[in-house]
């Protein structure tokens, strides 16, 4: 059964859209109703699998609706780029199927540099773009002045930026609309979807995953995909599977309707902006702000030291995670007949960082003084499933045959989602992947490999 309601911010109080009956058995169970889980279900179902999606709260209730709305290819890790280029095409295809209901628009993505060192880093990525035949062009300070309607203000010179790069084929979509719209498409094609249905544990027999145990009963399945975002590592801990994935809070703000200064997205050393379908802008910080420390975070910290020491990402460490956060001080284990942490926090809805919002307003006002101080209609935060090397895990877990991980998207999930979903559906069908997945293997954290940090904008 599906109920369609008007699109708005998705929270635990949002009406349920999907409440199918729990089947006894399926070919594939997908844990998590976010971008990766829904697209996995779409492509697996279209290849003949009987699929069930189980979501502890609301479809796209967490980071899949709280992200920036960027569908960018520009600046991706070299191993991610072929996947995200395919995802870019798949996004357009599904938007056409949905008659534009995802808000897909090709407005381009522009990286801006206020200082020469950042501009020099762009040169390295231009070579990656050339290798994959992605059209990315250099822009001088003068060309940027024509591309982006800005006024640098008194004392700032003709432009605050010394140069940049731009990829015209990059796109944007509306997070509050996109994944729920795709989920409704998936549902009409025969996929069973249950909201308010937490998976308490994996169903394991003879060392093999043969299904899941939910709060409403068990479902047998020889293939289970874990696409639980920030909650993935907590479920794995229940079975002694280590995954050094943490969650980092990012704050986002929505402005009032403003004149168009650019049709797509742009980011410099401090501010990220995206034109919205409603005529406003989504503002966000270049880097997530807050990483909360719990027992799992402390245990995994050795994997994160290179990232924290680098200039690529610099989250602020917070000693105590709020009650109910997946990296907080919550039980390590529970029985499958007990209420789990997933039921206690149906939708992870962290408070936005108010200082960060004020900083976003200030940066926007400095760069675009002709628009004045923007009025903020709404601000929110989301917990990003973050990996030590800033690239996802897309792989089977050899210790538990039948289990497939698709998590740790590290803030890239919205753009990569369709591509990752297609790959995961192929893995579930025992097909040879169409992309090289060595970079995303689960074992890289434990086989002595030196981690290579992926690029951060």
**What is the three-class DSSP state of 188?**
helix
What's the pLDDT tens digit per position in 54-73? Answer: 999 999 999 999 999 999 99
Mean pLDDT computed over every residue of the chain: 91
Region 99-117 average pLDDT: 96
Check pLDDT > 60 for residue 210: yes
What is the pLDDT at residue 439? Answer: 97
Check pLDDT > 90 for residue 177: yes
Range scoring the smallest mean pLDDT among 12-26, 105-119, 290-304, 362-376: 290-304
| Superfamily in which the 28-445 domain is placed by CATH | FAD/NAD(P)-binding domain (3.50.50.60)
What's the pLDDT tens digit per position in 338-370? Answer: 999 999 999 999 999 999 999 999 999 999 998
DSSP H helical ranges for 310-380: 341-344, 354-367
The domain ranges of the chain are: 28-445
Check pLDDT > 60 for residue 259: yes
34 burial (CB, 10 Å; 0-12 / 13-18 / 19+) is buried
Q: With contact defined as beta carbons under 8 Å apart, do 356 and 251 qualify?
A: yes
What is the pLDDT at residue 310? Answer: 64
**What is the three-class DSSP state of 323?**
coil
Q: With contact defined as beta carbons under 8 Å apart, do 246 and 327 qualify?
A: yes
Percent of the chain with pLDDT over 90: 78
Provide the β-strand partners of residue 438: none
Range scoring the smallest mean pLDDT among 291-305, 382-396, 414-428: 291-305
Q: With contact defined as beta carbons under 8 Å apart, do 67 and 227 qualify?
A: no
Which of the pair, 260 or 456, is modelled with greater confidence? 260
What is the pLDDT at residue 313? Answer: 54
Check pLDDT > 60 for residue 419: yes
309 falls in which pLDDT band (50, 70, 90)? low
What is the pLDDT at residue 91? Answer: 98
């Amino acid at each position: 059964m599906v109920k369609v309601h008007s699109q708005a911010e998705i929270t635990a109080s949002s009406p349920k859209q999907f409440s199918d009956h729990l089947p006894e058995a399926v070919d594939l169970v997908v844990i998590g109703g976010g971008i990766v889980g829904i697209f996995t279900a779409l492509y697996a179902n279209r290849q003949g699998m009987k699929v069930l999606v189980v979501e502890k709260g609301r479809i796209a209730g967490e980071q899949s609706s709280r992200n920036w709305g960027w569908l960018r290819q520009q600046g991706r890790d070299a191993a991610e780029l072929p996947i995200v280029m395919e995802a870019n095409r798949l996004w357009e295809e599904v938007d056409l199927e949905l008659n534009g209901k995802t808000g897909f628009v090709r407005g381009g993505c522009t990286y801006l540099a206020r200082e020469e060192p950042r501009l020099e880093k762009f040169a390295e990525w231009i070579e990656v773009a050339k290798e994959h035949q992605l059209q990315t062009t250099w822009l001088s300070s003068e060309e940027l002045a024509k591309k982006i309607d800005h006024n640098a203000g008194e004392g700032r010179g003709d432009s605050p930026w010394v140069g940049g790069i731009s990829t015209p084929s990059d796109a944007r979509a509306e997070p509050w609309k996109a994944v729920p719209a795709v989920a409704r498409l998936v549902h009409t094609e025969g996929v069973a979807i249950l909201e308010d249905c937490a998976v308490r544990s994996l169903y394991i027999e003879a060392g093999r995953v043969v299904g899941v145990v939910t709060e409403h009963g068990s479902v047998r399945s020889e293939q289970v995909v874990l696409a639980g975002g920030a909650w993935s590592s907590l479920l794995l801990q229940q079975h002694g599977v280590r995954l050094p994935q943490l969650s980092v809070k990012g704050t986002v703000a929505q402005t009032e309707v403003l004149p168009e200064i650019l049709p797509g997205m742009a980011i410099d050393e401090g501010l990220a902006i995206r034109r919205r379908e409603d005529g406003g802008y989504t503002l966000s910080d270049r880097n997530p702000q807050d990483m909360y420390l719990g027992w799992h975070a402390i245990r995994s910290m050795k994997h994160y030291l290179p990232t924290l020491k680098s200039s690529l990402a610099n989250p602020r460490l917070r000693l105590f995670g709020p009650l109910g956060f997946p990296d907080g001080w919550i039980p390590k284990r529970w029985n499958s007949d007990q209420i789990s942490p997933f039921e206690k926090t149906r939708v992870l809805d962290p408070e936005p960082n108010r200082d960060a919002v004020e900083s976003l307003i200030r940066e926007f006002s400095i760069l675009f003084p002709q628009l004045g101080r923007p009025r903020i209609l709404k601000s929110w935060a989301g917990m990003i499933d973050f990996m030590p090397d800033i690239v996802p895990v897309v792989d089977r877990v050899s210790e538990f045959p039948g289990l497939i991980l698709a998590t740790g998207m590290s803030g890239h999930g919205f753009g990569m989602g369709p591509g990752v979903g297609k790959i995961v559906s192929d893995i579930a069908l025992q097909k040879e992947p169409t992309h090289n997945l060595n970079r995303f293997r689960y074992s890289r954290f434990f086989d002595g490999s030196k981690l290579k940090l992926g690029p951060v904008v």
